[in-house]
Amino acid sequence: MSADTTATGLQCRQLVKSYSGVTVLKSVDFDVPAASVVGLIGENGAGKSTLSSLITGVNRPDSGSMTLDGQPYAPGSPSDALDAGVVLIHQEIRLLPGLTVAENIFLGQLPTRAGRLDRARMNAEARELLESLGVDLDPRRKVQGLSMAKQQEIEIAKALSKKPRYVIFDEPSASLGEAETAQVLERIRALRERGTGVVYISHRLDEVLEVSDEIVCLRDGSRVAAWQAGEVRREALVNAMVGREFTYEHVAPSPSRDDVVLEVRGLGRTGVFADIDLTVAAGEVLGIAGLVGAGRTEVVRAIAGADRADAGEVLVEGRRLKGNGPAEAIAHGVVMVPEDRKGQGLHLDRSSAENLALPWEKRLARHGVITRRRLRHLSMQQRERLDIRGDMSKPVRSLSGGNQQKVLIGKWLLKDPKVLIIDEPTRGVDVGAKMAIYEVIRSLAEQGMAVIVVSSELEEVLGLAHRVMVMAGGRQQGVLTREEATPERVIELAVPAGQAGSR
């Protein structure tokens, strides 16, 4: 495992990857020398995960090439990558809670003797591995009940049991506190000592600065900057992550603040988010910005009744919601377009017309009966209103992503709501439909609806919102007016700055 002459590193040349017509990685060069740590930074959707998925064989590049220690490298699957000595450590922990620590570490490569599991050897090897990582853990105990931090260490031990030459850490610290994070960084340094090449992906820029030999920044699928460690400051990283021309148009000026439609006081959900206070006036668009995992979606789900809140209250036009689920929120005029269109928004196998009518069938029925003619009439209205292109009587699945999203939005506009929450309004949608959806959101606000837009695309939030609430770590970090909300300011609040932001 020591660095030798053949270990010339992992080299990626002009990698291109697109998903359903959208190019998410545009001819990216990326090098990981042996025995070094490369930090990889960028906003949500900048292409970091796509790049790591190409390197680890989860996806194949559309074009471009990779070499590994001088040999051509084109993994067709994660196990190909593993055989070549490249391993990914996931952000999420994927251990089997019912198995022991040692079993989890060696899953898929359990040592056997005479056809039976060699438990003694497995436990001894696991103990050795854990000790080499400085982890104090009995390999014979079950994973169930261990802290996230300990589980993360097991994930690392599992990855290292395969003796990789290159390791990619995808936000390993996302769920860890500081002490645990410091330990992870210690492991990374230890790996480097042993000649392993490490890619460290994180939103926590201080950590990246601390551990990396080199830092690469992606933006909109392109490599925009790279620095040697020690010669760059945090501000430069932030600017590189954001630094793009913002092309959004100005929206209508803020409405009068006297008729508040939605008021949220001290809303919290144990272990997820806490102390959320916000108001949205009629005609106002409130943006919620933050990194993935900041708690944005969880907050709006609680407002819309999809999840139960443990603390605080939600008032619509002064009336308090009891927290009895989506039906109650809908009855009070609070509707939510969820981020997961397929899993939470639409029945893909049912027709657009049926999807549109689903929440409202009781109100739409005449003499207790819904007829096909009634459905057709309604769907034609929404089709015209939102410019949906496609056959409304065919399964939603047959429409393009943009038109599916319009059906989903139309579903929630059918009985004009008072508060419209849109989580990721343009995910998986092409540019044309994107503009159309922005136009819809603006005109709804102009008509007096209170709108909340949650988005990982900063440009989208800043372009649509009158005010922007920034979240990090389940807390609101501040509410910025349109004038205050520069990209730099929002990122500053959204990226936990070491001790200051993470607690």
Cross-strand bridge partners of residue 288: 454, 469
69: enclosing H helix or E strand = none
Indicate the burial class of 176 (C-beta count within 10 angstroms; 0-12, 13-18, 19 or more): buried
Q: Does 369 bind other proteins (CB under 8 A)?
A: yes
Cβ pair 495, 238 in contact under 8 A: yes
- The residue type of 335 is V
> Which part of the chain contacts other proteins (CB under 8 A), choosing from 313-321, 366-374, 382-390, 438-446?
366-374
> Which part of the chain contacts other proteins (CB under 8 A), choosing from 46-54, 77-85, 205-213, 331-339?
331-339
Q: Does 372 bind other proteins (CB under 8 A)?
A: yes
Nearest-10 Cα torsion for 318, 322, 324, 326? 10
Q: Shortest gap between Cβ of 408 and other proteins (angstroms)?
A: 10
Q: Shortest gap between Cβ of 360 and other proteins (angstroms)?
A: 9
> Which part of the chain contacts other proteins (CB under 8 A), choosing from 35-43, 281-289, 364-372, 473-481?
364-372
- Smallest Cα–Cα separation from 68: which of 29, 32, 35? 32
Q: Shortest gap between Cβ of 355 and other proteins (angstroms)?
A: 9
Cβ pair 216, 38 in contact under 8 A: yes
Cβ pair 140, 125 in contact under 8 A: no
Member of 115, 250, 368, 500 binding other proteins (CB under 8 A): 368
Nearer to other proteins, 232 or 306 (CB): 306
Member of 160, 346, 388, 453 binding other proteins (CB under 8 A): 346
Q: Shortest gap between Cβ of 272 and other proteins (angstroms)?
A: 18
Member of 141, 308, 347, 389 binding other proteins (CB under 8 A): 347
φ, ψ of residue 68 to 5 degrees: the values are: -125, 115
φ, ψ of residue 480 to 5 degrees: the values are: -105, 140
Q: Does 380 bind other proteins (CB under 8 A)?
A: no
Lay out the sheet containing 63-68: strands in order across.
22-32, 10-19, 63-68, 71-72
Q: Shortest gap between Cβ of 457 and other proteins (angstroms)?
A: 23
C-alpha to C-alpha distance for 283 and 254, rounded to whole angstroms? 8
Q: How many CA atoms lie within 13 A of 117 on its CB side?
A: 10
Q: Shortest gap between Cβ of 337 and other proteins (angstroms)?
A: 10
Q: Does 114 bind other proteins (CB under 8 A)?
A: no
Cβ pair 84, 164 in contact under 8 A: no
> Which part of the chain contacts other proteins (CB under 8 A), choosing from 113-121, 274-282, 346-354, 454-462?
346-354
Q: Does 338 bind other proteins (CB under 8 A)?
A: yes
Q: Does 361 bind other proteins (CB under 8 A)?
A: yes
C-alpha to C-alpha distance for 398 and 403, rounded to whole angstroms? 10
- Residues 387-404, buried b or exposed e (16+ Cβ, 10 A)? ebebebeebbeebbbbbb
Task: Map the footprint of other proteins across residues 296-315, applying CB under 8 A.
Answer: 304, 306
Cβ pair 191, 198 in contact under 8 A: yes
Nearer to other proteins, 94 or 362 (CB): 362
> Which part of the chain contacts other proteins (CB under 8 A), choosing from 22-30, 330-338, 431-439, 491-499?
330-338
Member of 136, 349, 384, 483 binding other proteins (CB under 8 A): 349
Nearer to other proteins, 369 or 500 (CB): 369
- How many binding residues for other proteins (CB under 8 A)? 31
Q: Shortest gap between Cβ of 391 and other proteins (angstroms)?
A: 13
Neighbours of 332 (CB within 10 A): 21
Member of 78, 325, 401, 498 binding other proteins (CB under 8 A): 325
Member of 93, 225, 370, 497 binding other proteins (CB under 8 A): 370
Nearer to other proteins, 87 or 408 (CB): 408
Nearer to other proteins, 189 or 342 (CB): 342
C-alpha to C-alpha distance for 308 and 310, rounded to whole angstroms? 7
Q: Shortest gap between Cβ of 59 and other proteins (angstroms)?
A: 23
Nearer to other proteins, 179 or 369 (CB): 369
Member of 182, 327, 380, 431 binding other proteins (CB under 8 A): 327
Cross-strand bridge partners of residue 152: none
Q: Residue 138: helix, strand or coil by DSSP?
A: coil
Q: Does 365 bind other proteins (CB under 8 A)?
A: yes
Tokens of 82: 């593993």
Q: Does 358 bind other proteins (CB under 8 A)?
A: yes
Task: Map the footprint of other proteins across residues 124-143, applying CB under 8 A.
Answer: none
31: enclosing H helix or E strand = strand 22-32
Task: Map the footprint of other proteins across residues 394-423, applying CB under 8 A.
Answer: 395, 411
User: What contacts 24+ positions apart, CB below 8 Å, involve 134-137?
Assistant: 134/183, 134/186, 134/187, 137/101
Q: Shortest gap between Cβ of 336 and other proteins (angstroms)?
A: 7
**Which positions lie near other proteins, rule CB under 8 A?**
304, 306, 325-327, 329-331, 336, 338, 343-347, 349-350, 354, 358-359, 361-362, 364-365, 368-372, 395, 411
